[in-house]
Structure 1
């Protein structure tokens, strides 16, 4: 008997439209505002950006899916929609369980130490205090933030962006998720952290989860994901085995 594949995420004709306020096309907010003051012009009308256009796909339990595409192609917007943080303009998203978007679900605070943020992030994911006490040291060790000093006892505002990203990943990966979405975190850190991260992603998949990984590093995508979705200008250009999709994207990028 063929093994039954269990869907965890279904996007059905998904459109995401958001609004941009207060800046003229091609100009930053400060110059635009100054120009309007000098010329006594009214603020420009709100612009609508159609970031995701009719996207449809089904993700299954046990898959690790890469999400690639040019800057501004809608990758992060798509993940935020799957996480329920952006309402669809048209279409629907169906999920089995509560998706966890790395860096959003772990509500970390810059004025708290890394140790306190580990506790806060784990509690925010619904872990019990006893579970947090049991895994807190392992989370800090996994992140590697103490490898060059006692950074876990310092406020997060003293961390580099890479250290903060590694700590967020370590917190999010401490719990088994039905759907875990990771945006670039595996590209940070040294080879040891990337290896630990990739091993943890494989463990999450084996524990019946689904992992989405957004990265500009095709090497990371190839090492971590067997399936990849290529999103370009808000439209799925290709969805299939990672080697085929990554190869087609490389040809596209060379020809630009």
Structure 2
């Protein structure tokens, strides 16, 4: 992956030439509580009693999804997050975005992180055109900026290549088309911290290449990008640093090739 230009590198440091941190994750633990069904007559009363007495329900199962994770991300970095299914990758992104509370530890961010995931909500009954406008407004873009970037967003997504889909309701889109449009909307804005969860796994190789190039541009604009992906080639093409999570633990944090080599050896080359 190419190094940043001199101008871009200057934007990632302060007046003393020090790198600027954008995200600090300090000994973070995240616990999910899965509530089971109540047991028989009087369960509502029993539940109220437990709340008053601050007792844990016997039907609540705790899942320790992230265990004591710590790292610092800096302006201008693109950081890949890898690990097997259920390792805590998406959970840590949701916590950084402020969508999940930490059971223990602290998360500090410079500005408001933006989380882009393939499961992010779209308005299925509205057209793609209306979703572009509403999505831009939701990210804080002004109407003039949205209209100025509208055509480039549509062109970037490639959803018009097989017909006039932008004027159709989102419910008529395939999951891949919806994910491509979602990424295109999010990528149209400059982000201080952009977190992408598996978005580059959608679409053909041409769209993946466009997406990877846009991530590089976001870095050049002095943003910080996190990319969760099972596609190691996408990680290699876009990230210079990788975090490897397994069962909620941070196993490695280092240069892309070094971490991926250890991960691929662990997984048998996958």
Is the shorter-chain TM-score for this pair beyond 0.5, marking a shared fold? yes
The C-alpha deviation readout for 1:14-46, integer Å capped at 9, x for no partner, is 0001111237xxxxxxxxx9xx99xxxxx9711
Provide closer, same or farther for how the CA distance between residues 130 and 255 of structure 1 changes in structure 2, counting only shifts above 3 A.
closer
Asked whether the 8 Å contact 1:179–1:209 carries over to 2, the reply is yes
Distance, in Å, in 2 between the alignment partners of 1:235 and 1:80 is 16
For 1:26, the equivalent position in structure 2 comes to none
Q: Which residue of 2 aligns with 1:139?
A: 153
Choose from 179, 190, 193 the match for 2:204: 190
Mapping 1:219-234, distance limit 5 Å: 219-234=233-248
What's the TM-score once normalised by structure 1's chain length? 0.89
2:268 aligned with 1:254, yes or no? yes
TM, length-normalised to structure 2: 0.84
The aligned counterpart of 1:213 is: 227
Q: Select 1:18's aligned residue among 32, 45, 68.
A: 32
- Corresponding residue for residue 131 of structure 2: 117
Structure 1 CA distance, aligned partners of 2:244 and 2:173? 32
- Report the secondary structure of 2:162's partner residue: coil
Mapping of residues 1-256 of structure 1, within 5 Å: 3-22=17-36, 45-103=59-117, 108-254=122-268
Structure 2: distance between partners of 1:218 and 1:160: 25
Q: Pairwise CA RMSD of aligned residues? A: 2.4
Query: SS of the counterpart of 2:125?
Result: coil
Instruction: Give the distance between the partners of 1:70 and 1:12, measured in 2 at CA.
Output: 23
Q: What SS does the aligned partner of 2:111 have?
A: coil
CA distance in 2 between counterparts of 1:151 and 1:243 reads: 40
Asked whether the equivalents of residues 213 and 221 of structure 1 are also in contact (C-alpha less than 8 Å), the reply is yes
Question: Which runs of 5 or more residues in structure 1 are unaligned?
Answer: 24-32, 38-42
* Partners of 2:113 and 2:193 within 8 A in 1: yes
Structure 1 segments (4+ residues) deviating >3 Å: 103-107
Determine if contact 2:117/2:198 at 8 Å carries over to the other structure: no
SS in 1 for 2:19: coil
Q: Tell me the distance in 1 between the aligned counterparts of 2:121 and 2:261.
A: 37
